[in-house]
Amino acid sequence: MKALVVEKPGLLSVRDVTEPPMGEYEARCEMLYGATCTATDLAVIDGRVGWEQLEYPLIIGHESIGRVVEVGSKVRNYRVGDLVARVYTRETDGLKLAWGGMAEYGLAVDWKAMWADGEPRERWDYYRVNQVIPEGVIDPMDATMIITWRENLSWVNRMGVKPGERVLVVGSGGNGMSIAACAAVKGAEVTVVGNASRRDATLSTGVSAFVDYKDKDALADFVAREHRALDYIIDATGKKETLTPYMPALREGGTAALYGMSDFTSYTIGPTTGPKYFRFFNSYAGIYDEAETHEEVIDLIRAGKLDAGAWIDREHVFTWDNAPEAYEHVRNKKAVKAVIKLSR
């Protein structure tokens, strides 16, 4: 089978690799599509991952969708034809994994069966992200974005955003736009500071206002006008000190939040500009759990409150012939998310 491999930092290639065998609790899936994750995947490709030590070469990708073609002897919760989220391959031919979703075939784990059969939690907990997407609700290409929606909605839920609260999101990448949309779905009044090219796409999700990050006068006016009025200010860029200029707008007892970090060793918030006390909320593993919001996301998509495939570039779908170019497409800001067709 084919797989997209980061040979070493800075070098992507398509390889023919051995397909790993299917286990008794696993379902073999034909992989349909994989979407780029601009922040995480590019960090893996560039060799600047701060949260763990990676070994290269490795198979990349985690926003991947597969369709079940065969099931193991102990599988009870997948059927042939099911569409499953977050399907990965396994280590093969000496290749490690950065999840491993960009492959022709992958394996979904029937974690519910393992749980019911008394298997140790450490064997199946990681695979709770493997969940069935109801047929006819989401186009398989759009379904690659369900991973983003589940993760961001879980984070917003756990942060505790409520109707009527006022939220500022700094950053208009895929996560920033998705977090803003999730907060808006929860009934918050949301403002996004971001790239002007993303204004219309951001506002189309129910966001109340958008400020161009290059318009310094507009930013200064916003911060002055909202002095101690915002319940949440959220950094979705991961860059050091992003929140400092906006701290005067945070109310006493409000929440300063960080989603994603480019440097996992330190982050700075100017202590003299903000309120006397506030809560800091981050996005390390364990702060969110995308498995818990699967059904909620499906319901929101059914109700038309979330656009399943928002920001996917459907005009430029990549294939195995040019798969590495998908990442350059998003790196060069030609799309928020690019998709690779993984099936032949």
Three-state DSSP class for residue 238: coil
**Considering Cα of 190, then 194, then 199, then 205, what sign does the dihedral take?**
negative
pLDDT at res. 260: 74
The residue ranges of the chain whose pLDDT is under 70 are 50-52, 261-265, 284-286
pLDDT at res. 68: 98
pLDDT at res. 284: 64
For every residue of 298-317, DSSP letters joined together read HHHHHTTSS-TTTTEEEEEE
For every residue of 107-122, DSSP letters joined together read EEE-HHHHHHTT--HH
pLDDT at res. 184: 98
Domains of the chain: 2-141+309-341 (3.90.180.10), 154-281 (3.40.50.720)
Closest by alpha carbon to 245, among 164, 342, 168? 168
Rounded Cα distance between 274 and 282, Å, is 17
CB atoms within 10 A of CB 33: 23
pLDDT at res. 268: 81
Assessment of whether the complete model's pTM goes beyond 0.85: yes
pLDDT at res. 239: 80
Inter-residue contact 70 to 27 (CB < 8 Å): yes
pLDDT at res. 285: 53
pLDDT at res. 51: 64
Helix, strand, coil proportions of the chain in percent (round to 5)?
Answer: 30, 30, 45
Structure tokens belonging to residue 102: 């960009």
pLDDT at res. 323: 98
